[in-house]
Amino acid sequence: MSTDPGTPTFAPVIAGSAIAAGDAAATPTTSKNVARVGGAVNPSADALKQAFGAGVRRVDVVWGETTVYVDVARAHEVIQWLHDEPSQRYDYLSDVTAVEFRDLEQPIEVVWHLRSLPFRRFIRIKAQIEKGQKLEVPSVWDIYRGADWLERECYDMFGIRFVGHPDLRRLLMWEQYKEGYPLRKDFPARGRFSRSEQLRQALAANPEARYSKEELSIADAFEDLPEDMKRRLGTGERVGE
């Protein structure tokens, strides 16, 4: 750590550092006999109700974890508050995902998993997108830089657009992928196109349009593979399928 007053310093976040001395939560314990529904509510849920009123739709506790449902339009504001508010300090975004139910009348849910390391708290924020509405929610990339690939993956798999993301494009599937969104309930198990068409599209993709020669140099590692592995790759032999 630098002693120069003009140089930014780095202070590590110590888990539980914000918990008052003597508080039972200061000592981590493994929960036992946790009820499926009900139980202790994360205190951040009540704080959110006071701060956002009707913007908080409901609070559930399932298997000891608190889920707060919020309006889509206020999701970014809620998450920003949880991050910045000194009494909350949710400084770690562990996941961004979505849920689509088989019941076509149920809304699609966008889910954020947040952790407050100083307070040793976990909270799940959900925003429901009703059927017929645009699959859009605000990006939280400006709050958590770690949201970059998390939001891209959710977009890639579910087709949800994160408004404000600086580079929202496919992450797992190639950018020219035209079959849709693989984790949506209407997506067929074998894909919409034939295997030959899927292969044709994959071969037609041009990775050099996005990635440098240096990034693609991993392909050179093929020459270092054992001869039996190179032979299997060359013949298209199926392994473990």
Tokens of 127: 């925003």
Count the Cβ atoms, other than its own, within 10 Å of residue 216.
Answer: 12
Distances in Å between the Cα of 31 and the Cα atoms of 62, 124, 140, 146, 216 are: 13, 18, 31, 29, 47
Decide if 41 contacts 66 (C-beta within 8 A). Answer: yes
Q: How far apart are CA 22 and CA 87, in angstroms?
A: 18
Please give the chain's pLDDT, 241 residues, in tens.
Answer: 445 666 667 778 888 888 877 676 667 778 888 889 988 999 999 999 999 999 999 999 999 999 999 999 999 999 999 999 999 999 999 999 999 998 888 999 999 999 999 999 999 999 999 988 999 999 999 999 999 999 999 999 999 999 999 999 999 998 888 888 999 998 887 777 777 877 787 777 766 555 555 555 555 666 666 777 667 666 654 544 3
Q: What is 12-168's CATH number?
A: 3.30.460.80
Pairing of strands 65-70, 56-62: antiparallel
C-alpha closest to that of 138 among 106, 160, 169: 160
Pairing of strands 161-163, 108-116: unpaired
Give the type of residue at 174: W
Pairing of strands 108-116, 121-129: antiparallel
What residue ranges do the domains of the chain occupy? 12-168, 173-241
The secondary structure of 68-117 as a DSSP string is EEE-GGGHHHHHHHHHH-TTT---EEEEEEEE--SSTTSPEEEEEEEEET
For residue 240, the model assigns a pLDDT of 44
Q: How far apart are CA 118 and CA 25, in angstroms?
A: 11
Q: How far apart are CA 241 and CA 239, in angstroms?
A: 6
- Neighbouring-strand partners of residue 136: 161
For residue 2, the model assigns a pLDDT of 47
